[in-house]
Structure 1
Amino acid sequence: MYGEKLSSLMNYYGAANEEEILTGILKTKEMYLQRDNRRYGDMKDRITLSVKDLQREAMGWFDKSCGDEQERKKPASAW
């Protein structure tokens, strides 16, 4: 589910790879947006906020799926 939602965010914002969506720096739009620093900063903030919300949501899935402390240790390394 995380991968699908991350791919959806990448498509929405036009990110070419995971690095761009996680940092909020889109190489394809960088030159265009740098002319207007405010718009560039706003877009970067929106992207990073969207990714953080997704990560928070995924942690919620993780917490709900784990019962006791021993069960939480198993998928923690995968996360």
Structure 2
Amino acid sequence: MRPPLRKLVGSVMMLVLVVVYALVAMALAEGRVNDTPVWIQPVLYAALGLAWVLPAMLIIKWMEKPARKAPADRR
């Protein structure tokens, strides 16, 4: 895949990731985190707030891969 197309696809994937993750994190925070003891809640909120970084790093790493070079002509 050519780098400009890879960056476009990666950007769309990042937008989808952020939107879907935000909705999932809000649902978890509302349903599960509020039921935990108060002293554990900051740790859970921090984990939920940072967990999207790992998949985002993988997408960025994929976006930044160099293009494949065409095989050299053999004579």
Alignment TM class, shorter chain as reference:
0.3 to 0.5
Larger Rg: 2
Could you say which structure has the greater relative contact order, defined with CA pairs below 8 angstroms and 6 or more residues apart? 2
More helix by share: 1
